């Protein structure tokens, strides 16, 4: 399996710059996700890697081979898209064999490889069924077998699970990871589903208006988002506006309408000077909530507010807290029945490690 390099890729559709000097390096055997708000360029980038689009500028390399001008069928990529485009009236085996017949692989070899691919996706018992007689999840497995049977150089997946119900999605996403890892496949996966990305990716790129906003492991991107869009897109968060008033040991002091907060920049390379306007991103689960009884000024990294609403979700309770102009969403893990805080004054505090500073 090759590594994939996207080098300074730019694509325009008329006035729209869909990709703007995109640089990425995807390692051999890596399960790599492309994420970002609608229209950010995920599908356009995947189509360049598959060979359906030619860029205005830049290159795509599979290992050291420049494939920018190589047509799709000569790139030998396995593809699995949202509409799995199987032929409903043909059998499972014929559907999987198609790519090999096209490549004029000998019949005996086709038979062996189809059987193997069906076994890989645990569908060997279904070879003679018609596609129309399979469930959605089973069809998805066949689409995966069809992508794998050609022994692709890499696997490209565009929203492969979006037609499935929630339970099947969960099952299929671990199945996709299992197969990628078993075969050491280099795979690029486009999705809107951040849970899918957080749970099975090795690394991900978040795109923002055709540019790469951040590349990192799920933990890096979730805990240390570099920008507002990344913080907002991956997981839920609360933003507070503030102004930098100092720095000690990599921790910044920020003045907000709720007093002083200490926090760390999402991007370690970024050193905002004193006076810079910034945003603080703080996840709902990072807060500790307590009844606010005595009137004392809020200590650093805390604020006082009134609980407007509680939503009980079983493992967590979600509180809507109004603090001045701000409305925050806070989670309480393992909530006690009856202790609702609703309508009451609370003090919520957050550790400096959970306060991420991003550009305003
Ligand atoms: P979504 O999550 O909604 O699928 P995406 O991140 O995959 O979005 P792309 O489909 O790559 O986004 O589109 C990127 C930008 O390029 C958008 O502004 C889109 O409108 C534009 N675009 C994509 N394909 C074409 C096309 N064939 N002609 C003109 N504009 C296009």
Residues 143-170 have pLDDT tens digits of 989 988 988 889 999 988 887 788 888 8
Is 4-223 assigned to CATH 3.40.50.300?
A: yes
Which of 36, 41, 50 has most ligand 1 atoms within 8 Å of CB, for mutation? Answer: 41
Backbone angles phi, psi at 56, to 5 degrees: -70, -40
- Of the options 3.40.50.2300, 2.40.50.140, 1.20.1250.20, 3.30.420.40, the CATH number for the domain spanning 236-359: 2.40.50.140
The number of the ligand 1 atom at minimal distance from the alpha carbon of 40 is 6
Check: CB of residue 319 under 8 Å from CB of residue 289: yes
CA 11 distance to own-chain centroid: 22
Q: What are the structural domain ranges in the chain?
A: 4-223, 236-359
Check: CB of residue 40 under 8 Å from CB of residue 232: no
Question: Which residue CA neighbors atom 16 of ligand 1 most closely?
Answer: 18
Q: What is the pLDDT of residue 228?
A: 95
Is the Cβ atom of 52 under 6 angstroms away from ligand 1?
no
Question: Which residues of the chain register pLDDT less than 50?
Answer: none
Radius of gyration of the chain measured on its C-alpha atoms: 25
Q: What is the pLDDT of residue 58?
A: 97
Kindly tell me the sign of the dihedral angle through the C-alpha atoms of 279, 220, 44, 23: positive
Q: What is the pLDDT of residue 163?
A: 75
Q: What is the pLDDT of residue 339?
A: 63
DSSP state of 135: -
Q: What is the pTM of this model?
A: 0.89
142's tokens: 């066949």
Is the Cβ atom of 214 under 6 angstroms away from ligand 1?
no
Is the Cβ atom of 48 under 6 angstroms away from ligand 1?
no
**pLDDT digit string, tens, across residues 98-121:** 989 988 899 999 999 999 999 988
d(CA 316, CA 310): 10
Which of 9, 13, 46 has most ligand 1 atoms within 8 Å of CB, for mutation? Answer: 13
Q: What is the pLDDT of residue 153?
A: 85
Is the Cβ atom of 39 under 6 angstroms away from ligand 1?
yes
Q: What is the pLDDT of residue 136?
A: 82
Is the Cβ atom of 191 under 6 angstroms away from ligand 1?
no
d(CA 122, CA 87): 20
């Amino acid at each position: 399996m090759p590594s994939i390099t996207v080098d300074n890729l730019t694509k325009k559709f008329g006035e729209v710059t869909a990709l703007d000097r995109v640089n990425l390096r995807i390692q051999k055997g890596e399960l790599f996700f492309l994420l970002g708000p609608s229209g950010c360029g995920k599908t356009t980038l995947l189509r360049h890697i598959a060979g359906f689009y030619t860029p205005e500028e830049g290159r795509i390399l599979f290992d050291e081979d420049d494939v920018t001008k190589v047509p799709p069928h000569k790139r030998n990529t396995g593809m699995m898209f949202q509409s799995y485009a199987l032929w409903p009236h043909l059998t499972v085996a014929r559907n999987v064999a198609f790519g090999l017949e096209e490549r004029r692989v000998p019949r005996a070899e086709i038979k062996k490889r189809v059987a193997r691919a069906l076994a890989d996706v645990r569908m060997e018992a279904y070879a003679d069924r018609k596609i129309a007689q399979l469930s959605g999840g089973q069809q998805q497995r066949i689409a995966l077998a069809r992508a794998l049977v050609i022994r692709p150089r890499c696997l490209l997946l565009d929203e492969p699970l979006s037609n499935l119900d929630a339970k099947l999605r969960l099952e299929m996403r671990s199945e996709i990871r299992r197969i990628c890892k078993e075969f050491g496949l280099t795979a690029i996966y486009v999705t809107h589903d951040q849970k899918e990305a957080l749970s099975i990716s090795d690394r991900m790129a978040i795109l923002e208006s055709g540019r790469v906003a951040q590349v990192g492991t799920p933990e890096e991107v979730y805990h240390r988002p570099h920008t507002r869009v990344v913080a907002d897109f991956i997981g839920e968060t609360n933003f507070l506006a503030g102004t930098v008033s100092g720095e000690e040991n990599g921790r910044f002091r920020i003045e907000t309408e709720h007093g002083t907060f200490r926090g760390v920049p999402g991007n370690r390379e970024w050193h905002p000077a004193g006076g810079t306007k910034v945003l603080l991103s703080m996840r709902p689960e990072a807060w500790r909530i307590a009844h606010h009884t005595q009137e004392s000024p809020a200590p650093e990294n805390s604020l006082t507010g009134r609980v407007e609403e509680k939503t009980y979700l079983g493992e967590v309770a979600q509180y809507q807290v109004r603090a001045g102009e701000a409305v925050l969403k806070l989670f309480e893990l393992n909530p006690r029945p009856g202790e609702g805080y609703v309508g009451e004054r609370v003090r919520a505090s957050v550790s400096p490690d959970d306060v991420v500073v991003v550009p305003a």
